[in-house]
Structure 1
Amino acid sequence: MGHEEIYLFNIHCHSDMTHISLLFLGLLSVIIDTRLCCEYFPWNPLRDKNNHFAILVLARGGSKGIKLKNLSRVGGNSLLAISVREVNKLRGIDSVWVSTDHEKIAELAENENVNVHWRAPESATDEASSLLGIIEFLKHHPEVDILGLVQCTSPFIKSSYLQQAVNHMQNGKECTFAATRSYKLRWQKLGDRLIPLNFDLKKRPRRQDFDGELVENGMFYFFSRRLIQQGVLQSNK
């Protein structure tokens, strides 16, 4: 986070509802309700904003393919550290969170100076979708109005890409997500037939004459709370 952030407390909260009263400069009393474990929460009481803009990285410990894949190292750094460090370069963000169910991932997140949200068991299974993890996070963080989901399995993520998404959302967009333009000619098999999906057989396009298609690459998804309340990550707005 930027230099303007004020680190008020570093606590572990494990009760169902803990009330914490803090005095800031002898003038400000802050009462915070916490339902989950909170780690190193950066907060600036002088910042007055209508919309709280948060970044969330879902990083559960379980993985059938690669054990603790979010801690796998690329170029000497873990996938999670790469993503978090790029996120921490962003402007206009109020808080950064790693949602996890694993102590090692939580420890790395804390070392990178971001908040830890302890993920509920039902949202951290192999069958649980990212949407379920997002809904669970927002349920416990009602202050968040706009959320950016960053996938830490994208090692080539850049803060410049993320900043563009942040800017779009701050300009009133309902959602923004990462996509790659593809120039592949696609087919579908129907019974014993092959059907072209995105081109005309009689007018097979050259690459320079083909606009291509936009394909999600999964690097990030930004959206409003209102969109998630409708049960979707994206809209056409």
Structure 2
Amino acid sequence: MSDRTYAALIPARGGSKGIKKKNIVDVAGKPLIAHSIEAAQQSDTIDDVVVSTDSQEIADVAAEWGASVPYLRPDKLATDEAPTEPVITHALEHESADEWTHVVLLQPTSPLRTGNDIENAIATFEQSSGTSLVSVFEDHSYRWEETSNGAIRKNYQGDRKRRQDKSPEYVENGAIYITKCSEFLKTGDIQAGKTILYTMPQKRSVDVDTHFDLWLVRKLIHRLNGQNDTG
């Protein structure tokens, strides 16, 4: 992998509404964003850990925890409606990204994702012929859609089996994305080209969006910390 440079990019805007100052709220004695910074630092394959933010307060916290914050993101890339792809493009346009061949996007709202998850995701990607990767968890639920003509089955017909016997679907968990920079710059799509899945356990797939999510990760993190848990 000597010809590849993997940079962890952590996007963390300051204007969260559901949870005030969400990206730096306390989780197990650390700012939320610190868990993602530390996970990236624990990965031997990550060459650079960069935080993209519009907030000087978040920038100061990120720097305190050892991340690089080479710029502040412009306000237009930090609105509720701003997608992730322009944030990656903005990062790749900065001179500090000249040597990057791959971006590993780590959302700070996934504090249960570990350094081993990042290493294993990169290894999964390296062993494939893919140009992008997305982390997921398995789901065996039976899903329905409500329509004006009544509810309809979404992922099964008349073959309802026990949940454990049902073929899984895969739910994007927001924890890890890998994209090849050259492919991303051609398409502007974080899941450009051939996308590979990296499966994580559901218990490490909580994405902090609501106060309930925050309560849940605060409970889980104490149970999961210190466990050499791969499943």
**Aligned residue pair count:** 189
Q: Which amino acid in the other structure matches residue 139 of structure 1?
A: E
CA–CA distance in 2 between the matches of 1:130 and 1:188?
A: 28
CA contact (8 A) 1:177 1:220 kept: yes
Specify the alignment match of 2:178 in structure 1: 222
Contact 1:199–1:205 under 8 Å retained in 2: no
* Change in CA separation of 1:209 and 1:169 when aligned onto 2, cut-off 3 Å: closer
Task: Please give the residue correspondences for 1:26-175 in structure 2 after superposition, counting only pairs within 5 Å.
Answer: 49-116=2-69, 117-140=71-94, 141-171=97-127, 173-175=130-132
Alignment check: 8 A CA contact 1:120 1:136 kept: no
Match 1:231 to one of 172, 188, 208: 188
Matched-pair identity in %: 33
Give secondary structure in 1 for the equivalent of 2:82.
coil
After TM superposition, the score normalised by the length of structure 2 is: 0.76
Query: Structure 1: how far apart are the matches of 2:184 and 2:85?
Result: 8
1:178 aligns with 2:126: no
Higher helix share: 2
Give me the TM-score of the superposition, normalised by structure 1: 0.74
Cα offsets for 1:192-236 (capped at 9, x unmatched): 221101111x22121232022001011111111133221212143
> How far has the Cα of 1:157 moved from its partner?
1.3
Partner of 1:26: none
Tell me the distance in 2 between the aligned counterparts of 1:212 and 1:169.
21
Partner amino acid, structure 1, of 2:125: M
Within 2, Cα distance between the matches of 1:217 and 1:62?
22
* Max Rg structure: 1
Distance across 1 between alignment mates of 2:102 and 2:75: 24
User: Where does the alignment leave 5 or more consecutive residues of structure 1 unmatched?
Assistant: 1-47
Contact 2:144 2:152 in 1 (8 A): yes
| Matching residue's letter, 1:81 | A
C-alpha distance in 2, partners of 1:192/1:148?
Answer: 44
- Residue 49 of structure 1 and its aligned partner are, at CA, apart by 4.5
Runs of 5+ in structure 2 lacking a partner? 196-231
C-alpha offsets along residues 55-89 of structure 1, whole Å, 9 cap, x if unaligned? 00001111122221100111111110111111101
In 1, are the aligned partners of 2:104 and 2:176 still within 8 Å (CA)? yes
CA 1:236 to 1:50, structure 2 compared with 1: closer, same or farther past 3 Å? Answer: closer
Aligned partners of 1:161, 1:49: CA distance in 2, in Å?
21
- Higher RCO, 1 or 2 (CA under 8 Å, sep at least 6)? 2
> 1:97 offset after TM fit, Å?
0.2
Offset, 1:187: 0.9
